[in-house]
Amino acid sequence: MSELLSAWQIADGVRAKRFSAREVLDAALARIERQNPALNAFIAVYPEMARAQAEAVDAAIARGEDPGLLAGVPIGIKDLEPVKGMLFTEGSRAHEGRIADRDGVSVSRLKAAGAVVVGKTNTPEFGYKGFTENQLWGPTRNPWDPTKTPGGSSGGSSSAVAAGMVPLCSASDGGGSIRIPASLTGCYGIKPTAGRIPRASIHAPTWGPFSTMGPMARTVRDSARYLDVTVGPHPDDLDALDSTGHAFEAAVLAEPPRLKRVAYSEDLGYAAVDPEVISVTRAAAAALAEALGAELVEAGPGFPDPMPWWLTIAASGDTRLVDAMTPEQRDRLEPGFRNFSEYGRAITALQVAEALEQRHQVNRTMTAFFGKYDLLLTPTTATTAFVAEGPPPSSIAGKSVGPAGFIPFTYPFNFTGHPAASLPAGLSASGLPIGLQAVAPRYADALLLQVSAAYEASRPWGYPD
């Protein structure tokens, strides 16, 4: 098992008895032991717990049972979601040493499908920023260049997948936290339509409409299988969508769609973007359109930068999160997160109501836009990966930008809830990955996966040695 297989290949091979879940796990643990010290993708690994899971999968197969679609697949879980018996720190010293007493909804569904949870992956404190570094665990590093960040907040997951420690990890995305690290490490990262995977009790309440659970994967098919396992309503999630009629892996394996018109916007009308990023993503957009038989048109939706409205809703939720802590916990928060949460303290109810109204207005703009175009393509991030410890660049293409200036393309589609994915577009002159973002109409997750698979087939991507 020295070769790293895709998640679907592992599961199908284990179910067919071509190799055992224990063999797959032992190979993954060896890769983690070899690579993780330099990258800090995993903050904790649990070999004995994982071996018990793998042995249960092998025992089920020996009894003639089917353990599930992810049988024997070793997987990392982002440390914003609980796994019973494992650390659950959320990247914060406020929760240092905390052990989860239950599985999160996604984790329980992944385990039920035969996935083997090997450990927890690193995240910035409460996932509040777009690169992965915190005072508890330190920075996670990019396998393409360990001096650089893998992005965030699912940076531990992206680093583990890009390095080949495991083929699949959990992730979540409230402002780009799946797509940003996928872009900076050359993975495939899809944020499904908001509510597709239930969040239940995870994280601050007002992040619910924004933050979507999802996979970090090496292939589109692996992502589709992950979604097949994890989507569907849950009674504790008021925003969860029904899963009736969805078969995402089957959609990926079907004949690719033939689209008519695909739009590409290099800046959404307001972003500062590195010229090299524009050049690489424009070429990738042309290749994607060609693979789908579509006309590529330079066009954008025309909405204003929604960052102020996004920030109003997100920060107010984290203010409440902090207020629920003990004084001792608040004293252990990072200054950056404390400042982010304090921003929300001055926000009025009227401002929140206005931000919620603007969310509907921007969504209506996108509905009209998708009446003309089948897809929207943009760069995923405005720059390539920067130094692992941060901070993000303060200027891009000669223009001053704020801390979120490198992610102007991702948070708009958390604001609206549209499904969006980052596909590997190519490498910069310095050898760093650049991502192409594809955005589909609301609820068109299957279409987005089909488009991604067609692009993947036309432009196969690789990973660092």
Parse the chain into domains and list their residue ranges: 7-458
Q: Specify burial of residue 461 (Cβ count, 10 A radius: 0-12, 13-18, 19+).
A: middle
Q: Is the pLDDT of residue 245 over 90?
A: no
Quote the CA–CA distance of 285 and 455 in Å, as a whole number.
Answer: 9
The residue from 78, 129, 148, 191 that is catalytic is 78
Active site residue 78: yes
Report helix angle 220-230 to 445-458, nearest 10.
160
DSSP, collapsed to helix, strand or coil, labels residue 378 as: strand
Q: How far apart are CA 142 and CA 186, in angstroms?
A: 10
Q: By C-alpha distance, which of 276, 285, 294 is closest to 425?
A: 285
User: Which residue blocks in 324-463 are alpha helix, DSSP H?
Assistant: 327-331, 335-345, 349-369, 411-416, 445-458
pLDDT greater at residue 70 or residue 3: 70
pLDDT band (50, 70, 90) for residue 243: confident
Quick one: pLDDT band at residue 433, thresholds 50, 70, 90?
very high
Residue 304 has what pLDDT? 97
The CA distance from 193 to 417, in Å, is 6
Q: Which of 147-156, 271-280, 317-326, 351-360 has the lowest mean pLDDT?
A: 317-326
Quote the CA–CA distance of 244 and 422 in Å, as a whole number: 26
81 with 170: CB under 8 angstroms?
yes
Three-class DSSP category at 395: strand
Q: Name beta bridge partners: 117.
A: 75
Options 6, 157, 159, 177, the catalytic residue: 177
pLDDT (average), residues 195-211: 77
Choose, from 106, 153, 157, 316, the residue flagged as catalytic: 153
For residue 352, the SS3 value is helix
Residue 453 has pLDDT above 80, yes or no: yes
Annotation marks residue 170 as catalytic: no
| 7-23 burial code (b ≥16 CB/10 A, e <16) | bbbbbbbbbeeeebbbb
**How far is 82 from 100, CA to CA, in rounded Å?**
5
The per-residue pLDDT for 465 is 78
What is the Cα–Cα distance from 465 to 379, expressed in whole angstroms?
25
The CA-based angle 341-344-346, given to 5 degrees, is 130
pLDDT recorded at residue 208: 67
177 catalytic? Reply is yes
**CATH 3.90.1300.10 fits domain 7-458:** yes
pLDDT digits (tens, 9 = 90+) for 298-352: 999 999 999 999 999 988 888 988 999 999 999 999 999 998 888 889 999 999 9
Residue 205: half-sphere exposure toward Cβ, Cα within 13 Å: 6
State yes or no: pLDDT of 131 exceeds 80: yes
Using one digit for the tens of pLDDT, what is the confidence trace for 51-97? 999 999 999 999 999 999 999 999 999 999 999 999 999 999 999 99
What torsion do the CA atoms of 8, 10, 11, 17 make, to the nearest 10 degrees?
A: 140
Average pLDDT over residues 13-37: 98
Write down the pLDDT at residue 317. Answer: 84
Angle at 284 between CA 152 and CA 223, to 5 degrees: 50
Please spell the DSSP secondary structure of 187-231, one letter per residue: -EEEEPSTTSS--TT-S-GGGTTT-EEEEEESSHHHHHHHHHHH-
Mean pLDDT of 420-425: 98
Whether the Cβ atoms of residue 101 and residue 147 lie closer than 8 Å to each other = no
**pLDDT value of position 132:** 98
Rounded to whole angstroms, the Cα distance separating 465 from 457 reads 21
Q: Which pTM was predicted?
A: 0.97
